[in-house]
Amino acid sequence: MNRLLGVLLVGFICVLVSCGSPDEPSKKSKELPPPKKEIKKVTTTSKQNDKKPMSASTGASPAELAKAKEIIAGVTEKAIAAVDAKKKFKMFCTTCHGITGDLNVNGAKDLTQSKISLEESVAQIYHGKGLMTPFKGILNDEEIVAVSKYIVKLRK
């Protein structure tokens, strides 16, 4: 019997301590700040890519540029004109570049600020670069050249 009373008393005291102590909540809130700092660190690193200066070149290799020249030389004006470049751009490019070219998803370069040559555009689209997928085999030569000419119109 005494044992049961003891257990009950201990239980009662526990309830009193956990409900009645005014120190508990403030102690808990003092322990909270560190995780918040960690969250801030993550947001700053993810913003690092936002303001990269626009280079006037894609850094395509001489071999890639030579291939691009070959592609451009191999297509006729008529074949380029027959492509609905706006539609192709909407289908394959807007996920990262947006309809107006300045969406910049996945570190995609702002096409409205782009200053690259037709060869560089064709090389970039044909071979891809970084997170941009190569469109070799997805778009044919005249489609690549037509889209390269179309994106020049998005420039400001």
Our CB check for ligand HEC shows the closer of 24 and 84 to be: 84
In angstroms, the Cα distances linking 145 to 6, 68, 124 are 88, 9, 11
Q: What residues from 74 to 103 belong to the interface with ligand HEC (CB under 6 A)?
A: 92-93, 95-97
Does 132 sit near ligand HEC (CB under 6 A)? Answer: yes
Residue type, 45: T
What distance in Å separates the CA atoms of residue 102 and residue 15, rounded to the nearest whole number?
61
Of the residues 118, 129, 136, 149, which one makes contact with ligand HEC according to CB under 6 A: 129
Does 135 sit near ligand HEC (CB under 6 A)? Answer: yes
Of the residues 58, 75, 80, 123, which one makes contact with ligand HEC according to CB under 6 A: 58
In angstroms, the Cα distances linking 143 to 37, 68, 87, 133 are 49, 13, 11, 16
Does 147 sit near ligand HEC (CB under 6 A)? Answer: yes
- Burial class (CB within 10 angstroms; exposed 0-12, middle 13-18, buried 19+) of 116: buried
- Binding residues (CB under 6 A) for ligand HEC: these are 58, 92-93, 95-97, 106-109, 114, 116, 121, 124-125, 129-133, 135, 147, 151
